[in-house]
Amino acid sequence: MDKLTVRDVDFRGKRVLVRVDFNVPLDGDTITDTTRIRAAFPTLRHILRCKPQALILMSHLGRPNGEPVPSMSLAPVAPALAHLLGNDVAFSPDCIGIDAERAINAMPTGGVILLENTRFHPGETKNDPTFAAKLAQHGDVFVNDAFGTAHRAHASNVGVAAHLPAVAGLLLQNEINYLATALEDPKRPFVAILGGAKVSGKIDVIDALLRKVDKLLVGGGMANTFFAAQGREMADSLVETDALDTARSMLNAAGAKLVLPLDQRIADSFRNDAAQQLAPASADVPPGWQSLDIGPATIDNFAQEIAGAKTVVWNGPMGVFEMPNFAVGTTGVARAVAEATAQGATTIIGGGDSAAAVEQAGLSAQMSHISTGGGASLELLEGKALPGIEALAER
């Protein structure tokens, strides 16, 4: 980590503007998963111990497309944050303007306030300089702790950094240290696991990883496209026909490095209670059927590859893990990764569905690191520079 962090700054008596990632799932006004809120606590508690004048938090929630959407308000997050953090947390009905200024000015010394959704303004996603300057007026120093948006050049993470001293939070530092170390100096054998629906969204990731890993295990819907590229009939399975040539090229270039499933669990419809059966990788999928999970032979094979690894990076589920009957493969791989951790491997879960699947399996605590940013972790795995990190002050 070659950027300044919160450990390099004296926050005493200063207004500290912090970009957090409180893009949490909501059921009405109820937060159904507080993982991202709790992930910010090390940074927030560190700053509060430094006796700031005020702690001002900003975040987005959802994609309101530049205008207020009541269902995407951050208002329910403030009381949840107060309860979890053990501090009073005020809430501003806007992130800029007179309402925000009044709410901030009304805070007691050392108080905490959460501003309304930054994406309620079109200037946020456009990285509008005027909007960024208005956000920056709230603080004396800026802390970016939102790894989940570090791959976006938005006003609240990049634009603000042009106006204030800008440093990384502890969560952001931890994410970079784990992911960068895994890529730049991994302990070997280095095994990567990729799943999810599509090959096309991960072409650059596959290219980058094939140059670095000892084995790349591919499952989930993206394996279907590789099978189709080999000439297997996949029937109603998800297959990206536009990516078949790319898949063929990757298979030719990767050789034994790229490991595909040995078998798959197929179903006669996309339902949890669908009729299902196992199909070997060499067999065509029958008409009207589709592949929804990896099979037991694949779980065992992947587990053997993972067991010998010293570094494991996993991004993407092995099947439709949201359906219990087709979560077997993902859970099996999660157990294998957890066992590798216990044997001393560094295991990194790349956010998004992978993190949700590990949480669902009850194995989160048995991983070395679970990333809070799916898209950001993918771009880092590709070797891309992340704008939200590039904007911070160099050490």
Would you name the residues annotated as active-site residues? 36, 198, 352, 375
Helices (H), the chain: 35-39, 41-49, 77-85, 97-105, 129-136, 170-184, 203-210, 221-229, 244-254, 296-307, 328-342, 352-360, 374-382, 387-390
Compute how many other C-beta atoms are within 10 angstroms of the C-beta atom of residue 194. 26
> One-letter amino acid identity for 175?
E
User: How far apart are the C-alpha atoms of 116 and 56, rounded to whole Å?
Assistant: 11
Q: Which two tokens stand for residue 303?
A: 């587990």
From residue 304, give the alpha-carbon distance in Å to each of 8, 147, 218, 300: 43, 32, 14, 6
> Phi and psi of 314, rounded to 5°?
-130, 125
In the sheet where 54-58 sits, what is the strand order? 89-92, 111-115, 54-58, 15-19, 141-144, 166-168
In the sheet where 263-267 sits, what is the strand order? 276-280, 263-267, 290-294
Q: Coil, strand, or helix at residue 31?
A: strand
Element (H, E) at 144: strand 141-144
Q: Which two tokens stand for residue 230?
A: 């080999």
**How far, in whole angstroms, is CA 141 from its chain's centroid?**
26
